[in-house]
Amino acid sequence: MRGCDEQKRILGKKVTASREIRKLTTPQDLFHAAAEEFIRAATEAIQKRGRFAVALSGGSTPKSLYALLAANAGTSLPWTQMFFFFGDERHVPPAHPDSNYRMANESLFSKVPIPPGNIFRVPTENPDADAAAAAYEQTLRDFFGAKPGEFPSFDLILLGMGPDGHTASLFPETAAIREKSRLVVANWVEKLQTSRITLTLPVLNAARSVAFLVSGIDKAPALHEVLEGDGPGEKYPSKLVQPEYGRLIWFVDRAAASELRSAA
């Protein structure tokens, strides 16, 4: 957990978080590299703390990662010590085709021996998005034992990035970007004409590890802006994900990286 001021007192200085950009040739290479990182993070967390708490990303990119984990690690990972949350969720019921929970359930949960009690989906059947967000925030506080002013530290948060530079449901120039105290909020997204429920930046930045998975040519302009541009974070929210004490790894394929200037 991170109470940021408390952590700074204890540590005396802010550890400069590391940012690593891993360029993979194909999407499949990207998913294999991300699966290795997932397994590494899970193994380390369980060895050190007896459990692994991960926030899954939604959308389409991570489906292949989840399917790979289900196919290759179905019997080798200690699923009973692994706890699954969501970085964001659409405000639709869990069986809706747009639901991130449904996508993760179909590609992963239904294929491996995860105890149902280890899966914490956002209660989006509640027609009140603010109430769903508040309930999910309490779920996080209860699981992590996070008191007011403290931010839970996920062992791993998986994130995607949209062509507009959004991540989770932190869309450009939306209110949630500016949230500094809540863990989870409902965020009205004008261009989608819908509310989303999303973890806030303080939670993303309190993680021990954050892994972005970015694949495809349509992401190339935003990826250049986020990683190399000097535009404001309000316009490219992925740029605001800078874990204070944790690792930040960008898994990008050749198409998504095609507008990056840096050779690294």
CB nearer ligand 6PG, residue 23 or residue 166: 166
**Shortest distance (Å) from residue 163 CB to ligand 6PG:** 8
CB nearer ligand 6PG, residue 42 or residue 176: 176
CB nearer ligand 6PG, residue 88 or residue 253: 88
Quote the CA–CA distance of 94 and 55 in Å, as a whole number: 17
**Shortest distance (Å) from residue 150 CB to ligand 6PG:** 24
Quote the CA–CA distance of 168 and 150 in Å, as a whole number: 21
Strands 18-24 and 247-253: parallel
Residues 6+ away with beta carbon under 8 Å from 141: 147, 152, 183
**Shortest distance (Å) from residue 241 CB to ligand 6PG:** 11
Q: How far is CA 2 from each of CA 6, 125, 153, 197, rounded to the nearest angstrom? A: 8, 30, 6, 22
What are 140-149's contacts with CB under 8 Å, separation 24+? 140/85, 140/183, 140/184, 140/203, 141/183, 143/53, 143/83, 144/1, 144/53, 145/1, 146/1, 146/183, 147/3, 149/3, 149/181
CB nearer ligand 6PG, residue 7 or residue 100: 100
**Shortest distance (Å) from residue 214 CB to ligand 6PG:** 8
**Shortest distance (Å) from residue 186 CB to ligand 6PG:** 14
CB nearer ligand 6PG, residue 168 or residue 177: 168
CB nearer ligand 6PG, residue 23 or residue 196: 196
Task: Number of helices (H) and strands (E) in the chain: give both, helices first.
Answer: 7, 9
CB nearer ligand 6PG, residue 100 or residue 174: 100
Please provide the DSSP assignment of 193-214 as one string: TEEEEEE-HHHHTT-SEEEEEE
CB nearer ligand 6PG, residue 59 or residue 229: 59
**Shortest distance (Å) from residue 8 CB to ligand 6PG:** 29
Nearest of 130, 140, 132, 238 to residue 188 by alpha carbon: 130
Helices (H), the chain: 4-11, 27-49, 61-72, 100-107, 129-144, 201-204, 220-228
Contact footprint for ligand 6PG (CB under 6 A): 57-61, 87-88, 100, 160-162, 166-168
Q: Which residue is nearest to ligand 6PG (CB)?
A: 160
**Shortest distance (Å) from residue 90 CB to ligand 6PG:** 6
**Shortest distance (Å) from residue 103 CB to ligand 6PG:** 9
